[in-house]
Structure 1
Amino acid sequence: MKWLGIRMLEIWLIQRLLRSPIFHKGVRRVHRKVEEVRRGEKLYDPEDFTGLHIDKPNSFDMKKFVKHYKEELQDQFRDLRKK
């Protein structure tokens, strides 16, 4: 009877662990690292890219800035002509 109680506790703890998102996140990290070592390349992780930093952070491209600035000015002048 004692072993039955220990077995039930073990089953309950395993079920609780498998429902935990933190456990799954840890397993994903370990799996990704193992695959990187096996393949010899860094794997793409969608969780790292949330869409907030499409370009490199803290990078400034003068050509892109000037192009965007010119487009904005053209749009403003178009709006002034329509009025």
Structure 2
Amino acid sequence: MSWLWMVERKLVETLLRSPAFHRGVQKVHKQIHHLQHGKPPEYYGGTSLEDPASNGGVKNFVKLFWEELKSGHKPGRNEGK
């Protein structure tokens, strides 16, 4: 039975040295990770804090922030009605 153990050991060593085996394991790991945690934002094109269609920048941010402050502090708004 010793020769069978030696053959098995040699086959396992060959498999573990194979780049194709490691690529397969990486693909399976990636799929399981995506199923458990969802796909990362980079998969969907990344994240963007600024709308590319607008002129963006600090000027646009200040404008939107000021408008939100004005509309958020009108009398009668957000009184829990």
Larger radius of gyration: 2
Task: Give the helix-richer structure, 1 or 2.
Answer: 1
TM-score for the superposition, normalised by structure 1: 0.47
TM-score for the superposition, normalised by structure 2: 0.48
| Relative contact order, higher structure (CA 8 A, sep 6+) | 1
